[in-house]
Structure 1
Amino acid sequence: MKLNLFKRSMIFATFFGSCLCIALIIASLGTTHWIDARARRTSNPLESDGRISFGLFEGHKEITFGGYGWRKYYFSVKTGTHPARRWAWCGAAAQLAAAFVSSAGACVLAALASAARARCSPHPMLIANSLAVLFTLGAIAVWLTEFYLRLQHNVMSDEDRKLHWSSEGMADVGLTFWLVVAAAVTAFINDVCILVAMSDSRDVDTIAPALEEKVNGAIMLY
């Protein structure tokens, strides 16, 4: 009975893991800190400063120079002013959407498996969580590629660059990006839990008859 309880506990743990993975993915899609950067005017770097943060769909920047105070601007993919190229934010968003669907499927399967009385195959849960890992890693790879090819060198608009604003070497991946990394790790831990549950093929239904047969044999000897 302990083995059965242990397996059910491991499977049920993946339910909470999938819920956490879903929450992390939603947070990564809705927050605006995939990239955090600073900016300066190359013509007067000591008298200028800028802060830029953005996510997959929108962001904002604050700039000041010459003592005129901070001015705040918003940009988004709707207006075509997003610093990342279309293939980057679109590819990352699409893969996160696929990871969300995979995690949701894994969540439902874990709930059904832990509640079912009869033994059910854990393979569909393993596949769903593995897909979640694959898609989150894909989103990470797409965004890091765009970061190293473009965003670490410039996140400023063409208008800002004409005014000598530059973010060269002052950009880094933000907290929102690391939420996706955490989602990938969570889905991977789910896979580990499922593999641990699968590692022992014994079941209560097979152990109990064998034990009963041995007891009956011992009684017959006496």
Structure 2
Amino acid sequence: MKLNLFKRSMIFATFFGACLCIALIVASLGTTHWVDARARRLSNTLESEGRINFGLFEGHKKLILKYGQRDYDLSIKAGTHPARRWAWCGTAAQLAVALAASGGACVLAALGSAARTRCSPRPLLVCNCATVLFTLGAIAVWLTEYFLRLQHNVMSDEDLANTWTSDQTADLGLSFWLVVAATITAFVNNVCILIAMADGRDMETIAPALEEKVNGAIMLY
């Protein structure tokens, strides 16, 4: 009974981990801080400043000059998003799959911890492994675009023509690190599931022996 309770507790703990993964992935998709960058005008560096932040689908750009400021909305619909299409599309698609896998893990964890009969935690392990795999894939795609392009330039062709630059001023924002946190959470879930699976062998050995003793006591009575 003690081992059974321990196993259920480990599986139930992954329910909260899966819920956290869902929240982190949804937050990363909905926020606009995958990259935060600063900009300056080479022809007038002392009296110019720019700030750019954007997510996978939209963002904002503010260019400040001595005589005023200009604000722009960045959007994939308008074709003004700094990242190339393969980058934001590949990242978003993999996060969508990871979100579905986390949802499946959430349901399986709830069912597995509530079931009275012994059930295999392998499907739960598969879902959490899929979450880790696809969040890592999304991270890899975005890092590739960041190191190849975004850290060097997030400005439009028009801004570049007006001598604006963001070279070496871009940083990975909070939205990106939320995905990293989701990956770590799913990995911790896998550790809990593996511990529960290792504990299952002892249960299978002890349960029949206990049942045999109980049956023997009944017959003796």
Scaled by the length of structure 1, the TM-score of the pair is: 0.94
Residue 206 (structure 1) aligns with: 208
Structure 1 equivalent of residue 59 of structure 2:
59
Give distance in 1, aligned partners of 2:159 and 2:32: 20
Residue 13 of structure 1: how far off its partner (Å): 0.5
4+ residue runs of structure 1 moved beyond 6 angstroms? 213-216
Residue 130 of structure 2 corresponds to 131
Query: Partner amino acid for 2:180?
Result: V
Partner residue, 2:34: 34
Q: Which runs of 5+ in 2 are unaligned?
A: none
Q: Counterpart in 2 of 1:68? A: 67
SS in 2 for 1:202: helix
Match of 2:5, as an amino acid?
L
Shift of 1:209: 2.0
Q: Does 1:191 align with 2:194?
A: no
The yes-or-no answer on 1:88 pairing with 2:90 is: no
Cα gap change, 1:211 to 1:59, in 2 (>3 Å)? same
**Structure 2 partner of 1:45:** 45
Deviation at 1:206, TM superposition (A): 2.8
Paired AA for residue 15 in structure 1: F
CA distance in structure 2 between the partners assigned to 1:68 and 1:124 by the alignment: 61
Return 5+ residue gaps in structure 1 as ranges: none
| One-letter amino acid of the counterpart of residue 62, structure 2 | E
Aligned with 2:50: secondary structure? strand
SS of 2:202 mapped into structure 1: coil
Q: Separation in 2 of the partners of 1:214 and 1:35?
A: 68
Give the CA deviation at 1:168.
Answer: 0.2
**Aligned in 2, Cα 1:20/1:117: closer, same or farther, shift over 3 Å?**
same
Query: What residue is the counterpart of 1:100 in the other structure?
Result: 99
Structure 1: how far apart are the matches of 2:213 and 2:130? 40
User: Which residue in 2 is equivalent to 1:143?
Assistant: 142
Report how far residue 210 of structure 1 moved. Answer: 5.0
Counterpart position of 2:157: 158
* 1:67-112 Cα distance to aligned partner (Å, 9 max, x none): 2233211010000110000000000000000000000001111111
Q: Which residue does the alignment assign to 1:78?
A: 77
* Equivalent-residue separation in structure 2 for 1:111 and 1:208 (angstroms): 27
What residue identity is the alignment partner of 1:35?
V
Measured in 2, the distance between the counterparts of 1:134 and 1:211 equals: 46
CA RMSD of aligned residues (A): 1.8
